Structure 1
């Protein structure tokens, strides 16, 4: 039986990952900033193989509680899934710097710091790390400067980290999804830090969270290093590299509402 720690587990992709892992027989340590939502999800799964600890993933104190709780309850950690995330929809020039700092704290600093703190447990199990990046880390998306920056930083840091922890027998899977039907976009911040006031613009097909969760668990089983699940967004990222002027024209047309 594997022990899996999932952040942002009360909804969206994190919840679908929790359901799928539980169905496969894994023990779960779940965390989310939404305490009531997390408690409801844990009750839905049952308490036999599930432990839930709510808190702010950007706080080192929560990291310590999670890892101490994991060792005391389960005695091991096999898989860490860094799923918790936040985004914004706002023109760069009209975004409060505090929004950029918050997005960077949740999407970059928190997963990196939690992973580093979890390494002693992961070394013991020769475990696996998952980081949920984004195709927005590979190509610019208008109205998402902070999110693009955070996901780019996450991808670069974890690509470096993979080589360093491989010597300890720890595998690292970077996931680069595109647009998913999850609360991260429904709860996006506006430039003032309040909920965004306009609908999101998208590229390609909007995929379901359960579809994404299934692909991630399959990639873990295969011990893959990277997962690019959406062919359309992957091709768009190539367009950005091969013909950036054309990409910008297309992006400006498609995302006009993000910068108006």
Structure 2
């Protein structure tokens, strides 16, 4: 039985991952900023011996340290850390309060980095795994999501370097690059004023379910794969961006034109 810590575990992909790891027979430690929903999820799994939950804000340094200590006290080890919690925005740079950029970077970049650093001693003891839920937006520009692209790009680079630095300790890093999933992260996307965005979501390719994505991630974690690119269309887009950037930008501007109208 593995001990798995999942951030953003009360809804969307985080909740799907919690169910998938739990179904595999693992013990799961769930954390989320939504305390009421997190309590419901803890009860839904129904096995106090294999489920623990701690509500809090992972951008808070004291909470992160307390969370890692809770894992140590409750289970004595940590085999897998899943950096899943995230937030996005749909707003043009010129129409966005810089505080929105700060919030996106804090949740999507700084929090997972600091939480991972706090958890490294436990992960080293277990020769464990770090799973990072990135985005294809971290590989290629997307209109209206400048801070999200920046945060996910920073996440990618940080953990690719960390992979090289900790592999001799037996720690594995899995970077996951979903495209468009039917999860609350987009429904709760911030607008330029920091309130929920009002315009419709732009996308390309097929909308996938959180359960579908969770199954692929759990399998990739078990196989200790380094990367997971589940959506071939988005993977092709990232290649096009590198090989023919002018063509990629023309297509992206057309597909995400609604962002320019805001």
Q: Same fold (TM over 0.5)?
A: yes
Three-state SS of the structure 1 residue aligned to 2:55 is coil
| Equivalent runs, 1:227-242 vs 2, <5 Å | 227-242=228-243
What is the alpha-carbon distance in structure 1 between the residues aligned to residue 18 and residue 212 of structure 2?
13
CA deviations 1:202-258 (Å, max 9, x no partner) are: 011111100100000111111111111100000011111111111111111111111
1:44 equivalenced with 2:44 (yes/no): yes
Extract unaligned runs of 5+ from structure 2: none
Name the structure 1 match of 2:107: 106
TM-score by length of 1: 0.99
Cα RMSD between the aligned structures?
Answer: 0.7
1:7 equivalenced with 2:14 (yes/no): no
1:257 equivalenced with 2:258 (yes/no): yes
Three-state SS of the structure 1 residue aligned to 2:76 is coil
Name the structure 1 match of 2:244: 243
What is the alpha-carbon distance in structure 2 between the residues aligned to residue 34 and residue 257 of structure 1?
31
CA deviations 1:26-84 (Å, max 9, x no partner) are: 11110000000100000101222111000111111111111111111111100000000
Three-state SS of the structure 2 residue aligned to 1:65 is helix
Three-state SS of the structure 1 residue aligned to 2:132 is strand
| Equivalent runs, 1:134-213 vs 2, <5 Å | 134-213=135-214
What is the alpha-carbon distance in structure 2 between the residues aligned to residue 122 and residue 52 of structure 1?
19
What is the alpha-carbon distance in structure 2 between the residues aligned to residue 195 and residue 93 of structure 1?
17
1:127 equivalenced with 2:128 (yes/no): yes
What is the alpha-carbon distance in structure 1 between the residues aligned to residue 193 and residue 20 of structure 2?
36
Deviates more, 1:100-109 or 1:250-259: 250-259
Name the structure 2 match of 1:115: 116
TM-score by length of 2: 0.98
1:97 equivalenced with 2:98 (yes/no): yes
What is the alpha-carbon distance in structure 2 between the residues aligned to residue 12 and residue 241 of structure 1?
31
What is the alpha-carbon distance in structure 2 between the residues aligned to residue 24 and residue 221 of structure 1?
10
The CA deviation at 1:92 is 1.0
CA deviations 1:77-109 (Å, max 9, x no partner) are: 000000000000001110110000000000000
Q: How many residues align?
A: 260
Extract unaligned runs of 5+ from structure 1: none
Name the structure 2 match of 1:217: 218
What is the alpha-carbon distance in structure 2 between the residues aligned to residue 15 and residue 60 of structure 1?
23
The CA deviation at 1:122 is 0.5
The CA deviation at 1:118 is 0.2
What is the alpha-carbon distance in structure 1 between the residues aligned to residue 142 and residue 186 of structure 2?
14
The CA deviation at 1:5 is 0.1
